[in-house]
Amino acid sequence: MLKDKVILLTGASSGIGMVTAKLLAEQGATLILADYNESAGQALSDELVSNNKSSIFMKVDVSKSSEVESLVQLIEQQYGRLDCAINNAGIAHDLLPLAAIDEETFDRVINVNLKGTWLCMKYEIDLMSRTGGGHIINMSSVAGLKSSALFSAYGASKHGVLGLTKSAAVEYAKQNIRVNALCPSPIRTPMFENIKKESEAIANKVAESNPMNRLGEPEEIANTLAWLCSDGSSFITGTALPVDGGYCA
Ligand SMILES: NC(=O)c1ccc[n+]([C@@H]2O[C@H](COP(=O)([O-])OP(=O)(O)OC[C@H]3O[C@@H](n4cnc5c(N)ncnc54)[C@H](O)[C@@H]3O)[C@@H](O)[C@H]2O)c1
C-alpha cells in the first residue's frame, strides 16, 4: 500500500510509534524515524534494514527548533520530498488536579506535545509546499476532544494540536498538503503502563468506561495510520479522527 512513499515518523522508539514503523516498513514505505531515545530508535531502524526495509534514524528532540530543521533538511537532501509526516512524539504527566500541576511540568508538556507538533509542521510544510505537496498526520487524543480529569496540561496540548491541524488543513489545501489528526482513546503502550503504575484503579476505570470494555492496541492505531498514509485517504483533510472503540460517541 505504501510502496515508495517517503514517510517521517516521530516518537518512533516506543509504543504506537514503534509498532507503526514496523507496519509501514512491511507495506513498503521509505522511513525516516526520529525520537530523542537514540538507542531504541537506532536499534529499531537497524532491525528494519536487516530485514531489507528502507529506514534511517535521527536523534531529534521535537521541542528544539534547530533539531527539527536539521531533520527536515536531511530528508530533503536524501529523498528530495516528504510524502507523509506522522507527528507522533508526545509525553504525559502525573495524574493531578490542575492547581497541583507545577509550572515546569506544564511548560514541558506544552513544549513537546504542542510546540513540538507546530515545529514539525512548520518545517514539513515548507518542504512539502516546494515539492508538490504531502500529508501531515498529527497525534492528538480523545483528550483533545473531551475533558480529561487529572490530565489538564496534556488535554490542553492535545486540544491545541487539533487547532493547528484544522487551521493548516484549510490554509494549505490548495497546495496539495493535507493535514489530519488522530484521536486515540487509551492504548496499551508504555505511556499507559506508567499511568497504571500510578493508579491501577484509574487505569481499570479507563478501560471499563470504553464501550468495547477494553484498551486499544497499538496495532489498531498503526493500521489506521497506514491507511491514512495511503492514497485511499485522498479526500480527507482537516479531520480529528477518533480511534476509540466508540468512546466519544
Ligand atoms: N497510549 C495512549 O493511551 C495514547 C492515547 C492517545 C494518544 N496518545 C499519543 O500517542 C503518541 C504516542 O504515545 P505512546 O503511547 O506510544 O507513548 P510512548 O511513551 O510509548 O512513546 C512516545 C515516544 O515519543 C518519544 N518522545 C517523547 N518526547 C519526545 C521529544 N521531545 N522528542 C522526540 N521524541 C520524543 C519518546 O521517546 C517515545 O519513544 C503520543 O503523542 C501520545 O500522546 C497515546
164: domain range?
A: 6-187+217-237
Residue 203 lies in a domain: no
For residue 90, the CA-to-ligand 1 centroid distance in Å is 4
What sections of 96-189 are H helices per DSSP? 103-109, 116-130, 152-172
In a domain, 196, yes or no: no
pLDDT of residue 198: 86
Task: Give the pLDDT confidence score for residue 184 in this predicted structure.
Answer: 98
On whether the CB atoms of residues 60 and 35 are closer than 8 A, the answer is yes
Structural domains counted in the chain: 1
Active site residues: 154
Closest CA to 15 of 1, 42, 35: 35
If you average pLDDT over residues 4-26, what whole number do you get? 98
In this prediction, residue 53 has a pLDDT band, given cuts at 50, 70 and 90, of very high
On the CB side of 59, CA atoms within 13 Å amount to: 7
- Per-residue pLDDT tens for 133-182? 999 999 999 999 999 999 999 999 999 999 999 999 999 999 999 999 99
**CB under 6 Å to ligand 1: residues?**
10-11, 13-17, 35-37, 60-63, 88-91, 112, 116, 139, 141, 184, 186-187, 189-192
Q: Has residue 124 been placed in a domain?
A: yes
> Would you state the pLDDT for residue 195?
86
Residue of minimum CA distance from atom 37 in ligand 1: 37
CATH assignment of the domain containing 135: 3.40.50.720
Q: How confident is the model at residue 241 (pLDDT cuts 50, 70, 90)?
A: very high
As a whole number, mean pLDDT of residues 183-192 equals 96
Identify whether 158 is part of a domain. yes
Mean pLDDT for the chain? Answer: 97
Q: Name 138's bridge partners.
A: 87, 181
CA angle 213, 219, 221 (to 5 degrees): 80
- With 90 as the cut, is the pLDDT of residue 185 above it? yes
Please say whether the beta carbons of 52 and 86 come within 8 A: no
CA 69 to chain centre: 18
Which residues, 6 or more positions from 212, have their beta carbon under 8 angstroms from its beta carbon? 245, 246
- Mean pLDDT, residues 193-199 taken together: 89
Query: Is the entire prediction scored with pTM above 0.75?
Result: yes
Dist. CA 67–CA 65, nearest whole Å: 6
Average pLDDT, integer, range 25-48 = 98
Q: What is the pLDDT of residue 153?
A: 98
How far, in Å, CA of 5 to CA of 168, rounded? 22
d(CA 153, CA 93): 8
> In this structure, is residue 245 part of a structural domain?
no
